[in-house]
Amino acid sequence: MFTFGKSKPEASLSALEALCKANRSFSSLPDTIRIPAAPSHNEIAAKPISEATIDDLAFALRGLDGEFNDLTDKMHALRKLSQMARDAGGVGTDCAVEVAARIQAEC
């Protein structure tokens, strides 16, 4: 029959979908997380975020912190090399390592 005033029932959302719908920042959550190896467990290369425990998230964050620190170190080294080469009079088409090494040799 007719269902006056009633809308068609929506398919129920998963807990993850409901979180993402309620808070846009959760739309950046990865589908899976990598949990680095620890003394008590082996590495888990890809655990679905929808199955992750609070401890899983903590371990995944520790792994990401390490990756972030490595990336920050690389960025700092690149900035330092670039600045050193520019300060030594290098121009955009010069080899940065050669210019920086030349100025270091003069010191």
**Nearest 5°: phi and psi at 80?**
-65, -45
**Six-digit token string for 23:** 């808070």
Q: Where are the alpha helices (DSSP H) in the chain?
A: 15-22, 54-87, 96-106
For residue 3, is pLDDT > 70? no
Judged against a pLDDT cut of 80, whether residue 106 lies above it is answered with no
Q: What is the pLDDT of residue 10?
A: 56
Listed range (14-18, 20-24, 101-105) with the worst mean pLDDT: 101-105
